[in-house]
């Protein structure tokens, strides 16, 4: 029995299209209800990230930081946090989840994610003791 790669690929695509068609049969009433439940999702998520960032930054700056290469360390760890957040933004954009109704939502979400990842990297760097 000869296995053709394109036949296998076609059967997998048929199964996936069938499964996808089953999930799209949601009525309009359920769509409106789902939309109403997540009305302020972006603002709530951004507020939560800002709150967690504030707590992490408090833990980092509670004690004095090591004096050697202070500015260079903060700049490098900030760039690492920025790079991680940019990767997250790219993944969200690829999954078509990075869209906002207003510029304020976009700035609030992006700023809180960047601050969150910078504070996580600072907390890991300064408080874990792995790098110091």
- Which residues neighbour 4 within 8 Å (Cβ) at sequence distance 6 or greater? none
Identify whether the C-beta of residue 56 lies closer than 8 Å to the C-beta of residue 120.
yes
Q: What is the pTM of this model?
A: 0.69
Query: What is the extent of the structural domain holding 83?
Result: 40-127
Q: Does a structural domain hold residue 56?
A: yes
Q: Does a structural domain hold residue 59?
A: yes
Q: Does a structural domain hold residue 69?
A: yes
Residue 127 binned pLDDT confidence (cut-offs 50, 70, 90): confident
Structure tokens at 1: 């029995």
Q: Does a structural domain hold residue 17?
A: no
pLDDT tens digit sequence for 58-77: 988 888 877 788 888 889 98
- The tally of domains found in the chain comes to 1
Q: Does a structural domain hold residue 13?
A: no
pLDDT tens digit sequence for 19-54: 566 555 555 555 555 555 567 888 999 999 999 999
Residue 121 binned pLDDT confidence (cut-offs 50, 70, 90): very high
Find, among 1, 126, 129, the residue nearest to 64 by Cα. 126
At residue 10, does pLDDT exceed 90?
no
Q: Does a structural domain hold residue 107?
A: yes
Question: How far is residue 60 from each of residues 33, 57, 99, 127, 131, measured CA to CA in Å?
Answer: 42, 5, 32, 7, 14
């Amino acid at each position: 029995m000869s296995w053709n790669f394109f036949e296998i690929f076609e059967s997998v695509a048929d199964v996936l299209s069938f499964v996808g068609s089953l999930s799209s049969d949601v009525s309009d009433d359920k769509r409106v209800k789902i939309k109403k439940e997540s009305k302020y999702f972006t603002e709530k998520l951004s507020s939560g990230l800002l709150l967690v960032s504030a707590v992490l930054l408090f833990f980092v700056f509670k004690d004095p930081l090591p004096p050697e290469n202070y500015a260079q360390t903060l700049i490098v760890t900030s760039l690492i946090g920025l790079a991680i957040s940019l990767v997250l933004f790219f993944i969200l954009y690829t999954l078509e989840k990075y869209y906002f109704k207003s510029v304020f939502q976009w700035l609030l979400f992006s700023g809180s994610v960047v601050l969150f990842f910078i504070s996580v990297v600072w907390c890991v760097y300064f408080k874990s003791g792995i790098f110091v």
